[in-house]
Amino acid sequence: MENMRLGRAENPAGHGSKEVKGKTHTYYQVLIDARDCPHISQRSQTEAVTFLANHDDSRALYAIPGLDYVSHEDILPYTSTDQVPIQHELFERFLLYDQTKAPPFVARETLRAWQEKNHPWLELSDVHRETTENIRVTVIPFYMGMREAQNSHVYWWRYCIRLENLDSDVVQLRERHWRIFSLSGTLETVRGRGVVGREPVLSKEQPAFQYSSHVSLQASSGHMWGTFRFERPDGSHFDVRIPPFSLESNKDEKTPPSGLHW
């Protein structure tokens, strides 16, 4: 479970709202049940935590599949009598069934050691939200590590984007427009169709779409912001703001794990 600072300031005109820092918001790190994966049709792929190896001459990108982050407001109460209620390769490695507990599971030492080792690459720093015309965009950035490349440092981040249609009208994401500023002084513009090869439809039946992507800078920090262009059924378009968010490296240069060991 992670707590981070997040707040909300509503636009009096009602056309949009912007999240500003000001309160604690709770997110949970969760294991995705393998039985749910075929039904997650609004995902381009199963979510995964990614990080770099700790060898400067290695280009290895490690992934821990089936991990995601869920806001407390999206949690639904659920109780299972199964000793293994979630099908995930990490479940039984992390949790031990104990019928005397409520809920009947306790953390194994493996989980505690894994959390301590990987926490720098799993922790949330800030959650950024903004709503435009009832489309809410949530951005969660993660620092992945640094690489040596041609006598310079290259810093990498992963960012998770969640799009939510808060209205009953159907809309479709058509284009993305990113601005990426680096502390080194560069400003890059990225335009393209859809996101991660998809042009998701957000409807009342499937109101949300979530994906992750990566960005690198030749500086230890920077900023990203932009817009998503959506299309209505009548063919008209509107732009949804992506809230500006910081790309910050871990100043104490924590050493990323070189792999998972059990």
Could you read off the pLDDT of 139-185 as tens digits, one per residue?
999 888 888 877 888 898 989 999 999 999 999 999 999 999 999 89
8 Å CB contact between 226 and 194: no
* Amino acid 208: pLDDT: 92
Handedness of CA 137, 143, 144, 146 (dihedral sign): positive
Assign residue 98 the CATH number of its domain: 2.60.40.1470
Range of the domain at 148: 24-76+83-248
| Partner residues linked to 159 by β-bridges | 141, 213
Tally of CB atoms within 10 A around 81: 6
* Amino acid 139: pLDDT: 94
Look-up of token digits 């039985």: 35
- Distance CA(121)–CA(119), nearest Å, equals 5
Number of domains in the chain: 1
Within a domain: 93: yes
pLDDT by residue for the chain (262 residues), tens digit each? 544 444 333 333 334 554 545 567 788 888 889 888 776 644 545 667 776 755 444 556 677 778 888 888 888 888 888 888 999 989 999 999 998 988 899 999 999 998 888 777 777 778 899 999 999 999 999 888 888 877 888 898 989 999 999 999 999 999 999 999 999 899 999 999 999 999 999 999 999 998 889 999 999 999 999 999 999 999 999 999 999 999 998 654 444 443 333 3
- Distance CA(164)–CA(206), nearest Å, equals 9
* Amino acid 14: pLDDT: 36
Per DSSP, 122 falls in state: H
* Amino acid 236: pLDDT: 97
Tally of CB atoms within 10 A around 93: 14
The SS3 call for residue 162 is strand
Within a domain: 197: yes
* Amino acid 221: pLDDT: 94
* Amino acid 258: pLDDT: 39
Within a domain: 4: no
8 Å CB contact between 131 and 16: yes
Q: Of 67, 4, 56, which Cα lies nearest the Cα of 30?
A: 67
Within a domain: 105: yes
* Amino acid 251: pLDDT: 52
Within a domain: 214: yes
Within a domain: 43: yes
* Amino acid 45: pLDDT: 56
Within a domain: 99: yes
Cα 12 to Cα 9, 15, 17, 18, 169: the distances in Å are 9, 8, 9, 11, 22
* Amino acid 153: pLDDT: 87
- Distance CA(125)–CA(159), nearest Å, equals 11
In this structure, what are the phi and psi dihedrals at residue 120, rounded to the nearest 5 degrees?
Answer: -60, -25
Query: The whole model's pTM is what?
Result: 0.76
* Amino acid 250: pLDDT: 66
* Amino acid 47: pLDDT: 67
Within a domain: 262: no
